[in-house]
């Protein structure tokens, strides 16, 4: 049976880390909206050119365009046994669009569709964000409190310099949470009412959260 998974939760709740692990575990593609947009732009496709016009102006890419790009990706051969969506949906409009996409790409297939909510206290998330560092070379993510590098300021994997994003500060973090709770949090009830939602405690080590996640998605 085809497995289709989406993760819900506020910024820094650990979705990205667990998505990568789960994609490797199942052998499914990790479909990351941000990476898809960047790939479309780099390819010079018509959708990519349109998306670039919005991004260059600091504007959000229209939902319809994002939906078209995602649909094209989910129709590819490597997604036929399953996929894990990252960064989509983020609003009720996107959730309803995803329903239409799934109707078109799945048709008569038997599908196990699940949404998992990463439940965690906002105070913990602020600590995660302000202490987050990423490798400037390979992109590996660290946290000075929860996952510190062996050598201060250096990546364990490639030795690259660790940097902090300009928006990884307490003021910006709280603003991002306000946006999340206004736009994305309603999806929790949306998927709960469809009886496809599971919740896990996202406060803990990567392995602790991983073990909790496996129990609800396998």
Domain with residue 17: its CATH number is 3.40.50.300
- With respect to residue 152, please indicate whether it lies within any of the assigned structural domains: no
Buried b (16+ CB within 10 A) or exposed e, 40-67: bbeeeeebbebbbeeeeeeeebebebbb
- With respect to residue 116, please indicate whether it lies within any of the assigned structural domains: yes
Q: Determine which one of 90, 114, 154, 192 is catalytic.
A: 90
- With respect to residue 145, please indicate whether it lies within any of the assigned structural domains: no
- With respect to residue 29, please indicate whether it lies within any of the assigned structural domains: yes
Q: Determine which one of 165, 174, 182, 194 is catalytic.
A: 165
pLDDT tens, 59-88? 778 889 999 999 999 999 999 999 999 888
Q: Determine which one of 73, 132, 133, 212 is catalytic.
A: 132
Quote the number of domains for the chain. 1
Structure tokens at 128: 């995660």
Q: Determine which one of 3, 147, 176, 192 is catalytic.
A: 176
- With respect to residue 21, please indicate whether it lies within any of the assigned structural domains: yes
Domain of residue 52: give its range: 2-120+184-217
Backbone φ and ψ for 100, nearest 5 degrees, come out as -65, -40
Q: Is 90 one of the annotated active-site residues of the chain?
A: yes
Long-range contacts of 102-110 (CB under 8 A, 24+ apart): 102/4, 104/71, 105/71, 105/74, 105/75, 106/2, 109/2, 110/1, 110/2
Q: Determine which one of 15, 73, 128, 133 is catalytic.
A: 15
pLDDT for residue 108 is more than 80? no
Instruction: Pinpoint the alpha helices (H) of 57-198.
Output: 63-74, 92-106, 122-130, 170-183, 186-193
Q: Is 132 one of the annotated active-site residues of the chain?
A: yes
First to last CA, the chain: 12
Q: Is 165 one of the annotated active-site residues of the chain?
A: yes
Contact 88, 66 (CB under 8 A): yes
- With respect to residue 39, please indicate whether it lies within any of the assigned structural domains: yes
- With respect to residue 114, please indicate whether it lies within any of the assigned structural domains: yes
pLDDT tens, 30-53? 998 888 888 899 999 999 999 989
- With respect to residue 147, please indicate whether it lies within any of the assigned structural domains: no
């Amino acid at each position: 049976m085809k497995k289709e998974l989406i993760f819900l939760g506020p910024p820094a709740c650990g979705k990205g880390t667990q998505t990568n692990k789960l994609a490797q575990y199942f052998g499914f593609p990790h479909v990351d909206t941000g990476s898809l947009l960047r790939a479309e732009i780099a390819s010079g496709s018509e959708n990519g050119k349109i998306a670039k016009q919005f991004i260059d102006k600091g504007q959000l890419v229209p939902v319809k365009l994002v939906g078209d790009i995602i649909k094209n990706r989910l129709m590819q051969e490597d997604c036929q046994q399953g996929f894990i969506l990252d960064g989509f949906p983020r609003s009720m409009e996107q959730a309803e669009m995803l329903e239409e996409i799934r109707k078109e790409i799945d048709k008569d297939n038997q599908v196990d569709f699940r949404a998992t909510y990463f439940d965690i206290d906002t105070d913990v998330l602020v600590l995660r964000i302000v202490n987050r560092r990423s490798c400037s070379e390979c992109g590996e993510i660290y946290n000075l409190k929860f996952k510190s590098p062996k050598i201060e300021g250096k990546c364990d994997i490639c030795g690259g310099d660790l940097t902090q994003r300009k928006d990884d500060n307490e003021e910006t973090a709280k603003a991002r949470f306000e946006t999340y709770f206004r736009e994305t949090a309603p999806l929790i009830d949306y998927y709960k009412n469809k009886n496809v939602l599971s919740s896990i405690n996202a406060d803990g080590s990567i392995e602790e959260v991983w073990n909790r996640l496996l129990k609800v998605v396998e």
